[in-house]
Structure 1
Amino acid sequence: MANVRNTARPLSPHLGIYKWGPHMAVSIIHRATGSGMATVGTGLFVWWLVALAYGPDAYACFLDVFTLQSGQLNILGYVVGIGLSLSFFQHMASGVRHLFLDAGANFELRANKRSALTTFAFSILATAIFWVVLLEKAHG
């Protein structure tokens, strides 16, 4: 039997025909932030438990990294804290966006793009406000 290709049938979509947009980035970042928060959160929880089990010196080391000591936070504490809070706010905003999409709203292309960009703006703004308030309370 000959291998005959039916040219009347459409080809399946593939990555080459899609144009990148904010909606695609938000979807990918939503998955990455969820996985990242679970992984980093689990790692921090295990570190905390191990430090607690190993005694006062190990626990003091953990606290030195993740709490304010004489008004200063370790740079690792800032990086992890800001990264986790940015991930949290981005994941939350994207989740709310997906809630509206699941309800059947926001499929119009312009509104969909605008809501995708809004998740990025919200997460940056919410993270900045969160850290300003947190640091003001710690120093004030």
Structure 2
Amino acid sequence: MSSEWSDPRPMSPHLQVWRWHATMASSILHRATGVANYVGAVAIAVWIILLAVGAESSIGFLFEGWMAWVTRFGLIALTYSVSYHWLNGLRHLFWDFGKGYDAKGSNQRSILIMIGAVIPTALLWLNLGN
């Protein structure tokens, strides 16, 4: 008696057939930044709640010594994540209207969005430093 689970099934050859391209990377990064935005939003909400209840001393270590650099890096990474996710969301909005489906242009826009998300991130953090 053979069960359907014990029979070897062929694997989809998608990894062997498809070559890596910018649109694939963009799709993966869009999902990753979506998750990062959720995690970052929860972390910031917890931080604000702790400040509101007067627990400044318990989270003060986030802004002292080497941990201040880790905190700053995390906030800059979160800013990039939000910027990228927003810009890529605009591209998805154009797709919803049937625009921008050509393969070459889609790959170029994917690269532009990945690089372009650095601009609002840098502008924000350079202005915060002043």
Q: TM-score, normalised by structure 1?
A: 0.72
Is the contact made by 1:33 and 1:87 (CA closer than 8 Å) also made in structure 2?
yes
CA–CA separation in structure 1 for the residues paired with 2:13 and 2:100:
23
CA–CA separation in structure 1 for the residues paired with 2:119 and 2:20:
24
Gap runs ≥5 in structure 1 = 1-11
Residue type of the alignment partner of 1:15? L
1:10-33 C-alpha deviation (Å, 9 max, x unpaired): xx7623211111111111111110
Summarize the Cα distance change of 1:47–1:132 in structure 2 as closer, same or farther, 3 Å threshold.
closer
1:101-122 C-alpha deviation (Å, 9 max, x unpaired): 1211111111111110110121
Q: State the match for 1:132 in structure 2.
A: 126
**Which stretches of structure 1, 4 residues or longer, exceed 6 Å deviation after superposition?**
none
Residue 131 of structure 1 deviates from its aligned partner by 0.8
Q: What is the aligned counterpart of 1:94 among 88, 91, 100?
A: 88
Q: State the match for 2:106 in structure 1.
A: 112
Is the contact made by 1:93 and 1:119 (CA closer than 8 Å) also made in structure 2?
yes
Residue 47 of structure 1 deviates from its aligned partner by 3.7
Matches within 5 A, 1:59-74: 59-62=56-59, 65=62, 74=68
Would you say 1:26 and 2:26 are equivalent positions?
yes
Residue 79 of structure 1 deviates from its aligned partner by 1.1
Summarize the Cα distance change of 1:83–1:101 in structure 2 as closer, same or farther, 3 Å threshold.
same
CA–CA separation in structure 1 for the residues paired with 2:16 and 2:96:
27
Residue type of the alignment partner of 1:59? E
Residue type of the alignment partner of 1:48? I
Computing the radius of gyration over CA atoms, which structure comes out larger, 1 or 2? 1
Summarize the Cα distance change of 1:13–1:104 in structure 2 as closer, same or farther, 3 Å threshold.
farther
Percent identity over the alignment? 29
Would you say 1:85 and 2:79 are equivalent positions?
yes
Residue type of the alignment partner of 1:130? L
Residue 63 of structure 1 deviates from its aligned partner by 5.5
Task: Give the alignment's Cα RMSD to 1 decimal.
Answer: 2.3
CA–CA separation in structure 2 for the residues paired with 1:24 and 1:37:
20
- Helix, strand or coil for the counterpart of 1:100? helix
Q: TM-score, normalised by structure 2?
A: 0.77
